[in-house]
Structure 1
Amino acid sequence: MAVLRIILTVLFIIICIALTVLVLMQEGKAAGLGAISGAAETYWGKNKGRSMEGTLVKITKYLAISFIVIAAILNISKF
């Protein structure tokens, strides 16, 4: 059981670092404020899910879910 806890702790630390890097790599929501005049309906805006930014958002979601699950598992296993 101690080996599993060590593996989960190391995985948890790696996920924490990866989440930090991914959040810092994403561009802010304020970057699109210049498009209020109607330029938001461009090809880039419509296909954002296929872009690098869309991929970063998806990876961030999955890492955040795994972060919460591993944190809960590590907390439960304390008792």
Structure 2
Amino acid sequence: MTTAQNVLSIVMIVASLFLIIVVLLQNGAQQGLGAISGGAETFFGAGKASASDRIFARLTSVVGVIFVIAAIVLNLIH
């Protein structure tokens, strides 16, 4: 293995572990539970996500893109 393959392999391992952790830290979508218990979202509260939800969603996207790019590049140089 070349140095580039080793570095990309390490990047993929770190990215995959980080991606697993970030996905597990996100809140689950509980869309159907409000209708069952009688609670309804108001107009003002429907589109608001907490700051941590937005950060985790953005981190998931960024790390996912890094993982895919590293996988493609590693496949091309292999």
Pairwise TM-score range, normalised by the shorter structure? 0.7 to 0.9
> How big is the shift at 1:2?
1.4
Q: Which secondary structure does the structure 2 equivalent of 1:32 belong to?
A: coil
> How big is the shift at 1:76?
0.6
TM-score, structure 1 as length reference: 0.77
What is residue 39 of structure 1 aligned with on the other side? Answer: 41
> How big is the shift at 1:42?
4.6
Any gaps of 5 or more consecutive residues in structure 2?
none
40 and 73 in structure 1: CA distance in 2 versus 1, 3 angstrom threshold: farther
Q: Which has the higher helix share?
A: 1
**Cα offsets for 1:32-51 (capped at 9, x unmatched):** 333444325455x4331x61
Indicate the RMSD between aligned Cα atoms, in angstroms.
Answer: 2.1
Q: How many residue pairs get matched?
A: 75
Question: Taking every aligned residue pair, what percent have the same amino acid on both sides?
Answer: 17
